[in-house]
Amino acid sequence: MRESHANKSVSFLMELIFVLFFFTIASAICVFVLGKAKDKNDIAADTRNALQYGENLIAQRNETAVLQQLQKETLYLDEDGNSVAEKAGYYRVVVAQKQPLKDGQMTLCELCIYRKDRELVRLPFLLEGGIRSEK
């Protein structure tokens, strides 16, 4: 009689260990999935904001201050899309000239916005005066 009672206790203990193991793994998977979802949400928000800031820069390219910013090869923006000092920005904006500059004409350029070396947005646009290299 004692052996069957001991076997039932061992069986119950093993079953309890398996249940705890299963729920531990299930909760770890849930935490992993939630972490990935948060990362994707952050990237989507950064991309949405970067697209808006890029479109704003391109739309305002005829204003003198914005034109001077766009004629640099690299500029930096904070989280609100305002221009900030070098390498202190949340976003890095790289402007590349795609066609050779001809006298008095606009040239095709491309504006790329990066966050932590990940490209978020790539927008083509026309720029008068081209890019001034700062090398």
Taking only the tens place, the pLDDT of each residue in 3-22 is 666 677 888 899 999 999 99
99, part of any domain: yes
Range of the structural domain that residue 35 is part of:
2-128
Separation of alpha carbons 90 and 14, rounded Å: 52
- State yes or no: pLDDT of 69 exceeds 60: yes
Q: Kindly state whether residue 134 falls inside one of the protein's structural domains.
A: no
Residue whose C-alpha is closest to residue 96's, from 135, 46, 130, 45:
130
Residues 6+ apart with CB under 8 A from 71: 95, 127, 129, 130, 131, 132
Per-residue model confidence (pLDDT) at position 134? 55
Q: Is residue 107 part of a domain?
A: yes
With contact defined as beta carbons under 8 Å apart, do 96 and 131 qualify?
Answer: yes
Residue 135 located in a structural domain: no
**Given this model, what pLDDT does residue 57 score?**
86
Question: Could you report the per-residue pLDDT of 73-106, keeping only the tens digit for each?
Answer: 888 888 888 888 777 788 999 888 887 767 667 7
pLDDT digits (tens, 9 = 90+) for 24-40: 999 999 999 999 999 99
Domain count, the chain: 1
Is 81 inside any structural domain? yes
